[in-house]
Every structure is written in C-alpha cells, then in structure tokens.
C-alpha cells in the first residue's frame, strides 16, 4: 500500500554517475573560480573538473558560455535576476534535458555537472513568475566524449492519456474486488472461518495490485487497507477497520460474530469506492512517482512485517505490488521507451525480483517472511532494493516540467 509521505522534491538527472540524485545534491552554493568569470573553462578548486561560469537574468540565460568543449564538466550558474528560476541545459535540437537546477535563488550560484559530446546545446531558464527564456545555441564538435544521460521533458498533457487508461483499468478491477470481498463476507456470515481464511488473501491481493490509485482513493484507502499505526487502541481501536482488521481476527481466534461487523463495513466501503470511482480524477503527474513508490513502500512495510496481522502473507503482497508496478509501467511505456535507455535493465531486474518472489509460493501456500532463512531474506531484500533504485529513474523521467 502507498503510505502518506513527505511531499516529493524534484529529482534531477546528472551525467556524473549516470543516475538519479535528489535535488539537494546540487543545492549548495559554490564559489565561482576567478579564472572562469570571463567564460573560459577553469579547473575547479576541489573536483579537478573544468568549470565554466554562466549567468542568468530576466532577459538572458546561460550568458558566458564562450568556449564550448566536450567531456565531463561543471557549469557554475549564477542568478542575477530578482526571482528564483529553474535552469535546464538542453539539447537545442530535441529539447532533451541533460541537467537541471531547480529553484536557483537570486544572487546565488550553484553547480551543474554534465557530460557533453558533439552537438548543439542551449540553456533554458524558467522563472517562477515569467515565461521561459532560451539562451544562445552553443555547438560542440571534435569531442571524443559521449553525452551523458538526458531525458525529453514530460508535460502534463503527455500524461493525461495513460492516466485516463489506467483509471479505467482500476474501475474494471472493482467488480472483481467486490466479488472477492463478497465471498469473504459470506464465509464469515455463515460462520465458516476456515473458508474465510482461504478467501481473505485473494480479496486482499486484488486491492494490493491497485497501488497507483491509493492517493486518489483518499480516506477510503485507510478504511479499506489501514493498519493500527497511529491508533491509540491498537488492534482494539474502533477505527481499525478493513482487510487488516479482519486478518487480525481470523488469525487470532476471534469468532464469526466478532467479525461480521468488520466484514460488513469492508463490503460497504468497497461498494462506496466503486460507486464513486467514475467521478474520481487521478493526478496524471503522479503516475511515474507511483511506479517507484509502490515497491518503495513494499520494501518499507512488507519486508519488515509491519503489515502482518497473522496471515503471514507479506511475500504474496509483495508479489501483488510487483504486478501493480508493472501495470503502471505498461501504461507509461509509450512515453518511457524513448526517454529511458535503461528500461531493458529495469525490466530484467523486475523479472529477477518476480522469480525470487515466486519461489516462495509453495503448494502449501506462501512462505511467511519470518520463516525465510537469512540467505533468502537477503536475496529478497537485495532484489527489491535494486528494483526500487532503478524505478527512481522512472520517477525522475516523469517529473513534469514546465517547458515555456
């Protein structure tokens, strides 16, 4: 399940290291080397890389880049305007972004590290309160370097079609969810708790595959799939409802009469969610982030046992979460294929994770996480952690940027 989290900060693509780093990585102010103030390349004081001082203002962007050269290098970008601005270094022909600085405050200088090969480049400045300004196109030739990672910016309009399609997919799953919860409720109502225990996991896994929609579900998600976190009364708290409330009762000896109320409430909550879904509107800008967050939360909650209330089904939930991640990626694929050259490696990594998880689905049921050997735990953790790390690139690629 997707848990509430601190609002995201912009992730930026940096050529050095070829990965995704938090925006804070480039946030520290730096001193512009004196030898670079005239636009010439100079050796940085500590990193040993060539530095070029460039300037932005209300009317110019990237001024001072006078002697272009290829290779790994740093631009020390200073804001001479009166307002913060985002600064992107772009491919002048395609608009792909090689590096960005978000929220460059007036009077400050920050570094932008990139690797550039032959081609044409231009800085684009996007002030908080004005239209974008594109600087002079600069051409690099005769370089042996290969340009570092770059991504074509994604706009909100790009993401609307996959968001609509994904929202329809969620709506189509609602009938299956309602049917399986209905079977769970019927088993509890009839007093057949063995049948209820068998029905609980299939119903829960349908919900767990809907991971990218939880933010749109709002308060319904906590009612349907919440835990005891933050509840003063713990498992006895009246606000502890939904799948995990029923799970606790089924695996801790509660009677059918004690579980009929929670089962009826879960069925009603599902019914209300299903009825309201047609009027719900997902935020298209969240899709890429959710593709990363689903397994990030799996790592945080399922592999720690924090969501296990007796069924021992954390690994089954992790497998369902992987299905949910792949569903989101499938809807994003038309946009992702041309933007993320590492997509084949990500798909191979997700295959590896799937193979690992499927090995714990035995004829007698899913192996409880706390029954894994140390080697098995380390393998699950390593495969899931690597998947989460690679999915961070997807979140970065689909971080919606202004282009004008």
Domains of the chain plus CATH, in order, are: 11-140 (2.60.40), 156-397 (1.20.1420.20)
Mean pLDDT check: name the lowest of 229-233, 366-370, 399-403: 399-403
Closest CA to 298 of 241, 214, 237: 214
Q: Please state, for a pLDDT cut of 90, what percent of the chain lies above it.
A: 79
* Residue 150, pLDDT above cutoff 50: yes
Phi then psi for 62, rounded to 5 degrees? Answer: 80, 20
**Cβ contacts of 7 within 8 Å, gap of 6 or more:** none
Contact yes or no for 221/207 (Cβ under 8 A): no
Report how far residue 384's alpha carbon sits from residue 356's, in angstroms, rounded to the nearest whole number.
9
Kindly state the DSSP code that residue 305 receives in the 8-state scheme.
Answer: T
- Beta-bridge mates of residue 109: 78
Range of 23-32, 36-45, 320-329, 337-346 with top mean pLDDT: 320-329
Give the pLDDT score at 38. Answer: 39
- The 10s digit of each residue's pLDDT in 160-219 is 999 999 999 999 999 999 999 999 999 999 999 999 999 999 999 999 999 999 899 999
b/e burial code for range 268-297 (CB count within 10 A of at least 16 → b): ebbeebeeebeeeebebbbbbbbbbbbbbb
Give the pLDDT score at 149. Answer: 83
Q: What is the mean pLDDT of the chain?
A: 88
Q: Which long-range contacts (CB under 8 A, 24 or more apart) does 102-105 make?
A: 102/9, 102/10, 102/12, 102/23, 103/23, 104/56, 104/77, 104/79, 105/79
Closest CA to 246 of 261, 230, 232, 233: 261
Closest CA to 41 of 31, 53, 26, 29: 53
């Amino acid at each position: 399940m997707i848990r509430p989290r601190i609002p995201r900060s912009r992730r930026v693509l940096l050529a050095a290291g070829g990965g995704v780093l938090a925006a804070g990585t480039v946030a520290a102010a730096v001193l512009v080397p004196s030898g670079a103030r005239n636009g010439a390349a100079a050796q940085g004081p500590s990193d040993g890389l060539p530095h070029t001082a460039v300037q932005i203002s209300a009317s110019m962007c990237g001024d001072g880049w006078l002697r272009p050269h290829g290779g790994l290098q740093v631009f020390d970008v200073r804001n001479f305007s009166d307002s913060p601005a985002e600064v992107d270094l772009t491919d002048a022909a395609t608009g792909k972004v090689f590096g960005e600085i978000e929220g460059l405050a007036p009077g400050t200088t920050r570094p932008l590290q990139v690797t550039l090969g032959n081609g044409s480049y231009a800085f684009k400045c996007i002030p908080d309160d004005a239209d974008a300004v594109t600087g002079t196109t600069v051409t690099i030739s005769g370089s042996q370097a290969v340009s570092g990672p770059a991504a074509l910016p994604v706009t909100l309009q790009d993401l609307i079609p996959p968001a609509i399609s994904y929202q329809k997919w969620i709506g189509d799953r609602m009938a299956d969810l309602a049917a399986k919860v209905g079977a769970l409720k019927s088993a509890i109502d009839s007093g057949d708790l063995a049948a209820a225990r068998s029905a609980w996991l299939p119903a829960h896994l349908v919900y767990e595959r809907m991971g990218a929609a939880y933010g749109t579900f709002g308060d319904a998600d906590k009612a349907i799939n919440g835990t005891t976190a933050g509840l003063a009364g713990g498992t006895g708290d009246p606000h502890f409802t939904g799948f995990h409330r029923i799970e606790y009762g089924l695996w801790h000896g509660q009677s059918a009469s004690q579980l009929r109320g929670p089962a009826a409430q879960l069925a009603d909550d599902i019914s209300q969610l299903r009825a309201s879904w047609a009027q719900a509107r997902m935020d298209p800008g969240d899709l890429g982030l959710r593709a990363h967050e689903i397994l990030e939360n799996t790592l945080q909650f399922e592999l720690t046992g924090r969501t296990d209330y007796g069924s021992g089904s954390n690994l089954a939930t992790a497998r369902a979460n992987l299905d949910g991640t792949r569903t989101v990626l499938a809807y994003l694929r038309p946009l992702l294929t041309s933007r993320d050259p590492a997509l084949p490696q990500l798909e191979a990594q997700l295959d590896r994770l799937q193979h690992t998880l499927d090995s714990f689905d035995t004829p007698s049921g899913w192996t409880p996480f706390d029954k894994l050997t140390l080697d098995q735990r380390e393998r699950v953790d390593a495969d899931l952690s690597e998947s989460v790390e690679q999915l961070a690139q997807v979140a970065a690629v689909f971080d919606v940027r202004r282009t004008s």
